Amino acid sequence: MYNELAWLHGQPTVNCLFKQQLDDFQVTEILPFSADGHGEHVLVEIEKSGENTQWAAAQLARCLNVSVKQVSYAGLKDRQGITRQWFSVQLPFSKSLNWQKLPASLRVLQAHRHSKKLRRGALSGNQFNICLRQISDKDEAQRRLALIRQFGVPNYFGAQRFGHEGNNLLKAQQMFAGKRIQDREKRGLYLSAARSLLFNQTVSGRIDAGLDKQLIVGDCLMLAGSRSFFVAETITEELNERLANGDIQLSGPLVGDAQLPSQAAALAFESEQLSAYQSWWQGLAKAGLRQERRPLLVRPEQFSWQWLDDCTLQLSFILPSGCYATSVIRELANIQSI
């Protein structure tokens, strides 16, 4: 289903190779706060090379001789790449920090005492450095890069959200059909995948309808950099100007246990997009998820690029927490398998 979603700038004709080397994908987490220097937790920034987050957390627990339940992190990061990620460890003051037992694929960059546990989602964003190789058409890639810089990309949840071959969606479907999932973390993963699919479908429908940059009466408009939103009961010149200036953003639904907050024409449009997924919506509502909103589009910050040669492109940009670099790459080029 991910490959069938609409493109904001038209389906790319450019082809490329991605993740041919470990350092072709690098991401650094950006915390919205600094360690306060005291408390029963230790904030640790670790550089992981070719390892997944859960494994790294387990190795950190083993190294410090604590339960893995005492290790937390803000989010999951790709295994295939070099990622600089924050963890927190609940650790008594009597225990020293000795990193010698960590595997060579994990490197401690910094560690500081902190008074609070690191919570899921507690990031302001992620810095990406990405290398794309064997670009098939430099001129067309250059044109699309300019469009991405100016208008952004659809804020789709990436394919990795849905698991290998969409397995998380299959598990969600089984759960909605009555299968009990005892593991709380897996249950949350399947619910998130289902809700992400519904969001993606709504965004894709809006792009197909040519309404990705246009206000509709009843739209839920999000304040830039905030989860707050308000309903546009009428369309005014002021709202159009604020949208053009990036002060407000169009949004799509993250469905939950109540009526969609959109109104009038926007409500009718979103309801139509979700009409084929009523059983999923009911399952998400039954699970107690709250109605939320997510920006329709995302514009990469500090978006820059460099051609290393005529077919090798180095990208650098920042995305807000919860946004996917793969959604940026998807608008630029088709990733070819070898």
Please tell me the distance from the alpha carbon of residue 93 to that of residue 42, in angstroms, as a whole number: 10
DSSP state of 277: G
Measured in whole angstroms, the distance separating CA 118 from the mean position of its chain's CA atoms is 18
- What amino acid is encoded at 13 in this protein? T
C-beta separation of 115 from 312 below 8 A: no
- Count of CA atoms in the C-beta half-sphere (13 A) of 195: 25
Please tell me the distance from the alpha carbon of residue 33 to that of residue 20, in angstroms, as a whole number: 34
- What amino acid is encoded at 52 in this protein? N
Ordered domains of the chain (ranges, CATH): 1-29+126-155+300-338 (3.30.2350.20), 33-114 (3.30.2350.20), 156-295 (3.30.2340.10)
- Average pLDDT, whole number, for the chain? 93
C-beta separation of 85 from 71 below 8 A: no
Residue 139: pLDDT over 70: yes
As given in the structure block, the two tokens for residue 311 are 């077919």
Active-site residue, 78 included: yes
Residue with token string 């997944």: 52
In the predicted model, what is the mean pLDDT of residues 213-226?
93
Phi, psi of 171 (to 5 degrees): -65, -35
Residue with token string 């709250």: 290
In the predicted model, what is the mean pLDDT of residues 62-84?
92
In the predicted model, what is the mean pLDDT of residues 42-63?
94
The least confident of 42-51, 123-132, 189-198, 329-338 is 329-338
In the predicted model, what is the mean pLDDT of residues 94-105?
86
Residue 64: pLDDT over 70: yes
- As to burial, measured by CB atoms within 10 angstroms (0-12 exposed, 13-18 middle, 19+ buried), residue 170 is middle
In the predicted model, what is the mean pLDDT of residues 216-233?
94
Residue 160: pLDDT over 90: no
In the predicted model, what is the mean pLDDT of residues 44-70?
94
Phi, psi of 298 (to 5 degrees): -135, 135
* Residue 92: per-residue pLDDT: 84
* Residue 336: per-residue pLDDT: 84
Bridge partner residues of 114 (DSSP): 41
Please identify which of the residues 23, 24, 36, 78 carries the catalytic annotation. 78
Residue 338: pLDDT over 70: no
Residue 73: pLDDT over 80: yes
- What amino acid is encoded at 244 in this protein? A
Could you give the 3-state DSSP secondary structure of residue 181?
A: coil
As given in the structure block, the two tokens for residue 151 are 């208008």
Please tell me the distance from the alpha carbon of residue 135 to that of residue 113, in angstroms, as a whole number: 45
Please tell me the distance from the alpha carbon of residue 328 to that of residue 154, in angstroms, as a whole number: 8
In the predicted model, what is the mean pLDDT of residues 111-132?
94
DSSP state of 246: T
In the predicted model, what is the mean pLDDT of residues 277-293?
92
pLDDT-derived band of residue 337, with 50, 70 and 90 as boundaries? low
Residue 98: pLDDT over 90: no
Please tell me the distance from the alpha carbon of residue 230 to that of residue 207, in angstroms, as a whole number: 21
CB atoms near residue 141 (< 10 Å): 22
Measured in whole angstroms, the distance separating CA 100 from the mean position of its chain's CA atoms is 33
Residue 2: pLDDT over 90: no
C-beta separation of 243 from 215 below 8 A: yes
Residue 138: pLDDT over 60: yes
pLDDT in tens, 171-209: 999 999 989 988 888 999 999 999 999 999 999 999 999
* Residue 134: per-residue pLDDT: 97
Residue 317: pLDDT over 90: yes
Residue 333: pLDDT over 80: yes
How far are the Cα atoms of 202, 237, 247 from residue 244, in angstroms, in the given order? 22, 10, 8
Please tell me the distance from the alpha carbon of residue 148 to that of residue 128, in angstroms, as a whole number: 15
